[in-house]
Amino acid sequence: MAVGTLYLVATPIGNLEDITLRAIRILKEADLIAAEDTRHSRKLCAHFGITTPLTSFFEHNEKVKGERILDVLRSGKNVALISDAGTPAIADPGFILVRRCREEGIPVAAVPGPSAAIAALSISGLPTDRFAFEGYLPSRSKGRRDVFRKVSAEERTAIFYEAPHRLMASLTDLVAELGPGREIAVVRELTKIHEELLRGRAEEVLAEISGREKVRGEIVLLVAPAPAEIVPNRPLEEVLEERLKETTRPPRQVVKEVAKEFGLPGSEVYEIYLEVKKAEKSER
């Protein structure tokens, strides 16, 4: 008996009109739809008159349900895999099922459509010729700062997913690791009525978010490539003194930023900082 096909069907990330005609047809013709959240997917199916049976498939039941879905495919039936929104198998456990299918020679077909990462990148105004999708940011500050530190010299636009309730903390960590001047973009509520794009220097975007009582909607955070290293044409002492006056950030962060611009060890620039402070005191 011939095996079935696993279809990876992209679904709308907000606006229901973004679903493709092929996606609707595949969802109607499939023998089973494996969905991240069946309650959410039932609303989508009802809207388009799709009556195909649904089964849940998410991170915590992937091992058990994955095997059951494979059994369905082995029996010659077709399965459509969908996530709550966007393209399945991207930053979700669907990729494990895809890998199992490939290992067993079960056909896998893409039914392309919406992707939050690509949609956000396309409207961000940041460089699109080269980019790196980094998935979800860690929930803890140390993990986030480690990630931001690793992309500090990245020559491609970096794309992250983040939860709205952690956005301010993530931006604070970003500024600490990448500096206040790194260009970033925050995109939320993509394709929905309240879609919003905040773009500018990291400290400006952080200030905007800090002034809000609550942030809503799914978040895509984009970080511009690291600027080309250009050694300032002014004395290091002058640049350091100016930066310290125009910010309330801790001196060590400013020292780290200036050291990177001049291509010098942080310890060396910190010694210069101490000399600048000493000179200021002697002038008083």
- Spell out the residues 6+ positions from residue 231 whose beta carbon is closer than 8 angstroms to its own: 261, 262, 263
Q: Residue 207: inside a domain, yes or no?
A: yes
Question: Among residues 96, 113, 130, which one ends one of the domains?
Answer: 113
Same domain, 71 and 15: yes
- Spell out the residues 6+ positions from residue 230 whose beta carbon is closer than 8 angstroms to its own: 261
Global pTM reads: 0.78
- Domain holding 47, by residue range, is 6-113
Same domain, 213 and 274: no
CATH of the domain at 89: 3.40.1010.10
Same domain, 201 and 244: no
Question: What band does 25 get if pLDDT is binned at 50, 70 and 90?
Answer: very high
Same domain, 83 and 125: no
Question: Among residues 173, 192, 223, which one ends one of the domains?
Answer: 223
pLDDT above 80 (res 282): no
Q: Residue 62: inside a domain, yes or no?
A: yes
Amino acid 141: pLDDT: 95
Question: How many separate domains does the chain show?
Answer: 3
Same domain, 71 and 86: yes
Q: Where are the alpha helices (DSSP H) in the chain?
A: 21-29, 38-47, 62-74, 94-104, 116-124, 141-150, 167-178, 202-210, 236-245, 251-262, 266-283
